[in-house]
Amino acid sequence: MTSECLQKARNFEEEHMKRIHPDERPCYHMTGGVGWINDPNGFSLYKGEYHLFYQYHPYSNEWGPMHWGHVKSRDLIAWERLPVVMAPDEDYDKDGCFSGSALELADGKHLIMYTAVQQVAKDDGTTEQFQTQCMALGDGVNYTKYSGNPVISKDQLPKGGLIADFRDPKIWQEEDGTFYSVIVDMLEDGNGAALLYKSTDAFHWEYCAMLDSSDGKLGNMWECPDFFELGQKQLLLVSPMAMKPDGNEFHVGHGTAAIIGAYDKKTYTFTREYVHAIDSGIDFYAPQTTVTPDGRRVMIGWMQAWTNSKFVPEGVKYFGQLSVPRELTMRGGRLIQNPVRELENYRGELAAYTDVPVSKEVSLKGVSGRVLDMTVHIHMDESPAAADTSEGKQSFNSFMIKLACGGEYYTSLCYTPGTSTLRMDRSHSGYLYDIVHSRDIKVTPRDGELKLRILLDRYSMEVFINDGEQAASLTLYTPQSADGITFCAEGAARISVEKYELRFPF
Ligand code: FRU
């Protein structure tokens, strides 16, 4: 049965969505119907279609009592909007239906596992927060919360675990039929931990082990975990809060980390080997993965930074976008991310240039736009007269691409071989708030070039460096009329460019 609270959200969305013209949204990045969204949730294949939910507060552009919004797709690019599926309408989740995941059960039902939030008033006038794990079952459109909720609560926490920050279950099923869930928790000692639970029926859960913890080094609380095998390694993805800066790898505050290691399934022992950032840009958090029918592991993230999220640009009618779905592989010990290959089905006209010499600012015919898929190869030339850099001798000191460029506006990517850095900078994108606008990313040319695949989609830019070795995302709210692209170098650079228009018939 649809509760009053859920019906209200559905009605509100339907009525208010009308005032947002499709041109005011990105073409292939998901946004909420109206209002605010954050983390992707319940990313799963159900009856042959991809279902994707998201943390949703339809009533304003700010975070508020969390609902779950819902879309589905056949190809991860064209999404169909479905009614809101969950509202905070039970005692145990009255303060929010927080993040979680989903999977298809053998009996054909779609199972959601999410975190219920409940603030309980105490006798001394303060409140205590309870975060418990709950289930909901549905048919791909309508979902009913399980009558036995919550299914994991305080008494199933390990010693030292706190119920106030115990959330974001990621559920999966192993071949032998056993269900597992990795859930993050804040421990009494101030560390975040990833806890493993198991169940034979998905409703009765047993604590197995602590897989890993922040250990005073990788932030404090962790959020939105994922745990899977990829390319002979085991990966634990987490979004740590309150990180300390670490060179150019991690910046202060909220971050994303791929913890790469080995896993012994029998003893539930995860052995961490090394860690690197998942996305080195400004706006990316809380990613979640699923597996396609042909076996590809695909990840999608919230394309927004928490810290900047209170600064909603003027005139924006909804707030929050999800990243492009990214195919994950392993190469050279790193997590490799590339846009899902389905995006290529939407490629239109190609403008291609080979070995273009660049010094003063130039534009290339056919290379412009705000919805595109462009690869720029910056060739690493060596000439006797070239300047010495750590990468050898280069005939340029820096090379800059300006995008979403027009009038006073541009967003830039600037490669400096001497410091091996790529700086992404949106200071001139039209944002009028003093928030984070640039990031320096350590990059290394491969096979004589630095290769940048750049996706633009009206209000965002995602960059995939060296065939997905690194990724960096940012949102940009520049007027759409600013659609120029220019290239320039301090010195003499040589580039090749393939730029595809992207066309969406929906
Ligand atoms: C991460 C997060 C989750 C939580 C959700 C609440 O962005 O803080 O830990 O479940 O957002 O909206």
Collapsing DSSP states into helix, strand and coil, what is residue 489? strand
- The dihedral region occupied by 22, where left means phi > 0, alpha psi between -120 and 50, and beta the remainder, is alpha
| Amino acid at site 336 | I
Tell me which residue has tokens 């592991």.
297
Distance CA 490, CA 398 (A): 5
Residue 278 has pLDDT above 70, yes or no: yes
Give nearest CA residue, ligand 1 atom 6: 98
Report the atom number in ligand 1 closest to the C-alpha of 39: 7
Q: Is the CB of 223 under 6 A from ligand 1?
A: yes
Going by C-alpha positions, the residue among 283, 291, 310, 377 that lies closest to residue 29 is 283
Please answer whether residues 132 and 118 qualify as being in contact, where contact means their C-beta atoms are separated by less than 8 angstroms.
yes
For 178-205, the pLDDT digits (tens) are 999 999 999 999 999 999 999 999 999 9
Q: Is the CB of 167 under 6 A from ligand 1?
A: yes
Read off the tokens for 47. Answer: 């009856």
CA 115 to ligand 1 center in whole angstroms: 9
CA 54 to ligand 1 center in whole angstroms: 10
Please answer whether residues 449 and 443 qualify as being in contact, where contact means their C-beta atoms are separated by less than 8 angstroms.
no
Q: What is the mean pLDDT of the segment spanning 494-503?
A: 98
The secondary structure element, H or E, covering residue 9 is: helix 4-17
Least confident of 48-52, 82-86, 458-462, 502-506: 502-506
For 334-358, the pLDDT digits (tens) are 999 999 999 999 999 999 999 999 9
Q: Is the CB of 118 under 6 A from ligand 1?
A: no
Distance CA 500, CA 344 (A): 9
Collapsing DSSP states into helix, strand and coil, what is residue 78? coil
Q: Is the CB of 52 under 6 A from ligand 1?
A: no
CA 39 to ligand 1 center in whole angstroms: 7
CA 368 to ligand 1 center in whole angstroms: 36
Mutating to test ligand 1, I would choose from 86, 223, 283, 285 the residue with most ligand atoms within 8 A of its C-beta, which is: 223
Distance CA 501, CA 465 (A): 20
Q: Is the CB of 284 under 6 A from ligand 1?
A: no
Within 13 Å of residue 451, how many CA atoms lie on the same side as its CB?
11
Residue 272 has pLDDT above 60, yes or no: yes
Q: Is the CB of 300 under 6 A from ligand 1?
A: no
Percentage of the chain surpassing pLDDT 70?
97
For 282-308, the pLDDT digits (tens) are 999 999 999 999 999 999 999 999 999
Per-residue pLDDT band at 381 (split at 50, 70, 90): confident
Q: Is the CB of 254 under 6 A from ligand 1?
A: no
What pLDDT, on a 0 to 100 scale, did the predictor assign at position 206? Answer: 98
What pLDDT, on a 0 to 100 scale, did the predictor assign at position 188? Answer: 97
CA 224 to ligand 1 center in whole angstroms: 7
Q: Is the CB of 335 under 6 A from ligand 1?
A: no
Which residue in the list 39, 283, 425, 457 is annotated as catalytic?
39
Q: What is the dihedral of CA 120, 60, 14, 43, to 10 degrees?
A: -70
Collapsing DSSP states into helix, strand and coil, what is residue 233? strand
Q: Is the CB of 185 under 6 A from ligand 1?
A: no
Mutating to test ligand 1, I would choose from 224, 226, 306 the residue with most ligand atoms within 8 A of its C-beta, which is: 224
Report the atom number in ligand 1 closest to the C-alpha of 66: 12
Report the atom number in ligand 1 closest to the C-alpha of 302: 7
Please answer whether residues 195 and 158 qualify as being in contact, where contact means their C-beta atoms are separated by less than 8 angstroms.
yes
CA 13 to ligand 1 center in whole angstroms: 21
Percentage of the chain surpassing pLDDT 90?
95
Q: What is the mean pLDDT of the segment spanning 22-29?
A: 96
Give nearest CA residue, ligand 1 atom 2: 223
Q: What is the mean pLDDT of the segment spanning 269-283?
A: 98
CA 87 to ligand 1 center in whole angstroms: 15
Report the atom number in ligand 1 closest to the C-alpha of 115: 10
Q: Is 39 a catalytic residue?
A: yes
Mutating to test ligand 1, I would choose from 67, 97, 98, 222 the residue with most ligand atoms within 8 A of its C-beta, which is: 98
What pLDDT, on a 0 to 100 scale, did the predictor assign at position 314? Answer: 87
Q: What is the mean pLDDT of the segment spanning 315-326?
A: 96
Q: Whole-model pTM?
A: 0.96
Distance CA 172, CA 348 (A): 37
User: CB atoms < 10 A from the CB of 89, how many?
Assistant: 19
Phi, psi of 209 (to 5 degrees): -170, 160
Residue 385 has pLDDT above 70, yes or no: no
DSSP state of 67: E
What pLDDT, on a 0 to 100 scale, did the predictor assign at position 195? Answer: 98
Q: Is the CB of 66 under 6 A from ligand 1?
A: yes
What pLDDT, on a 0 to 100 scale, did the predictor assign at position 339? Answer: 98
Please give the sequence-ordered ranges of beta strands (E in DSSP) within 408-448, or none if there are none. Answer: 409-416, 421-425, 438-442
Q: Is the CB of 38 under 6 A from ligand 1?
A: yes
For 394-419, the pLDDT digits (tens) are 689 999 999 999 999 999 999 999 99
Q: Is the CB of 286 under 6 A from ligand 1?
A: yes
C-alpha 57 chain-centroid distance = 18
Please answer whether residues 471 and 455 qualify as being in contact, where contact means their C-beta atoms are separated by less than 8 angstroms.
no
For the chain, give the mean pLDDT.
Answer: 96
Distance CA 223, CA 258 (A): 13
Please answer whether residues 32 and 20 qualify as being in contact, where contact means their C-beta atoms are separated by less than 8 angstroms.
no
